[in-house]
A and B are shown apart, each in its own frame.
Chain A
Amino acid sequence: MTSLNDEFVIEASGIHKSFGELQILKGISLQVRRGEVVVLIGASGSGKTTFIRCINLLEDIQAGRIRVNGQAMGYRERPDGSLVRDTERNIARQRRDIGMVFQRFNLFPHMTALENIIEAPIQVLGVSRAAALEDARRLLGRVGLTDKADHYPAQLSGGQQQRVAIARALAMKPQAMLFDEPTSALDPETVGEVLQVMKELAEEGMTMVVVTHEMGFAREVADRVVVLDQGELIEQGPPEQIFSQPQHPRTRAFLSRVL
């Protein structure tokens, strides 16, 4: 019953991205199956952040195509096959399907944890306040922060803020979640609680693309590890393979530095 479009939640092909003259992504293709957890690793500056921001159209791309749930992101296809940039409204609609968790949390500082979570469901999806609140409380419970509902972000630790941010993204009931180094701005003692939430999310079948330097997490949770280097995808495979028998010399060089 699963068509091709159903099988892949995210399909990115031939993504090219430059900042001015500087080419950052040199034709990256990545397909992510429903329920799959893909971990992106690579040296600093290799383009990991840029790539997942492109999936979400937070960056314009110069060439390539992105499909989410079989739907072209950011571009409409004319009957003749040519692409036109989509309207802001449509792009906003497409972004609902992809949750994003940022390195620096980016919670709304003028709202409590609970308000942060209900904001988009009410404003964007038009969910009733009561339903949004019920859902938000459930999500807060899921990330273990029931008692912090009325705290402002500034009153929460980094790990707690990041868990609220994950709940906020989940409140949109996304098809996939993107994580950009969700633990690298955290104190070491709070890293574990965020990784635990992500692990549970993965076990529940969420489709995830995770940029991280937490190799332990990659090893344990990833279905597939993808290695980026200087804007190119140089190697991918199951974690055991990547970590024990890396094929590409630059993967080996990178892993020898971080492991």
Chain B
Amino acid sequence: MRLSADVCVVGAGAGGAVVAAELAEGGADVVLLDRGPRHNPDDLTARPPEMLARLYRDGGQTVTLGSPPVGLPLGSGLGGTTLVNSGTCFRTPPAVLARWAREHGLELDGGVLDPCFERVERALSVGPVTPELAGRNAEVARRGAAALGWSHGYIARNARGCVGSGVCAYGCPASAKQHVGITYVPRAEAAGARVLTGAAVERIAVAGGRARGVEGLRTGRRRVALAIDAPLVVVAAGTVETPLLLARSGLGAASGQLGRNLSLHPATAAFARMDEVVDMARGVPQSLYVDEFAADGIMLEGIAGPPAHAALALPLTGAAHAEAMADYRRLAQFGLMVSDSSRGSVRSVAGRPLVRYDLCDADLARFRTGLARLRELFETAGARAVHLPLPAGVEPRRARRRDLKLMAFHPLGTARADASAERGVVDGDLAVHGVDGVHVADGSVVPSSLGVNPQITIMALATRLALGLLAT
């Protein structure tokens, strides 16, 4: 199969879908490719194992190598990881943009990104969760934070007509979450973009220092070779896959930074046994944040889900686990995310990504403090018992790396942006250094951890890239 276009966009997640729609609406002839399928909302079942198998790469079982291992779930298909995310929307903190200006020569501070944030937020119907929709799980944490005098608030989300189904991470059965698969992708198609699923890009074709298109495989009833001829290629395959695709194509390696500088926002969660009925799966799972300790790199955010979700995460075994699960209706859960200084890497082993990440001392200290804060939050809210994600008898201040049970949802940085070709893979306009016509628009360009959830940052950067390309 061979097609030609003005622009080929690889990956239909947070970055790729936005670039494709903006370019197509601006008059460009766009082909948008994604390795995963087009998910039918009628097939969403609100059952965690089945949805993990269908909506996530490798069933959500991707794990980093290192100390400690970190679960790293990634979405797959039209919408990418936005299909399964919690819908939390934060703009890039101004202090982070100022640091990027100082450390990476990126001119994105001083309100430069504001029009892009506004454009994205409009497209995704971003607005704050109401206390009623936030549910009783959030109310437990809100009560604790208020009593302690900790800064907190209801989260802004990309949702329309949300009824608090409680299964954001397993696909929204009401299509209330405005993920890019039901917002930007249809806009791209309406503007004439051709969207191909089951299209795995193997390499970017380059000749004479310029992009010529991409090559790959289309899976379906038959596997067929796929080639797209295009003078402009936008890579948006996500932080784990983009560096591998660039490396396979012999691009972006000159600085020595390709595949490095991986930040993750490692996270964990605690449970509390309450006297009141919580029914954590009724309401928006991630509806409240506590940012009292954000300056120390510690952010507390809601998390919740159906019994199967809780059973998988509950840090108990045997009879204690069964007893706590019998009390599921009175269980509350809240999460802790660290703005990490640790840095990992991604490389290819036997054609598959191998993610290496070791938690540094500073981040271990953040987890120790954060876990103690989570316990304080729940105890102040009236918990009968708090179950921290630590082995029995281990106090937060004594926790070792191997005691932590970590997940991460925000991989960033493996093709980082830096104005200098010696320090970054892409420049401030997200063009790959050393080649013409290849850009990157996904989490991989984000040069440091953000301290907040990244989808709006990624989409705003993608918007800026698209509008910039249309203007040239």
Is chain B found bound to chain A in the same assembly? no
On A, residues with C-beta under 8 Å from B are: none
On B, residues with C-beta under 8 Å from A are: none
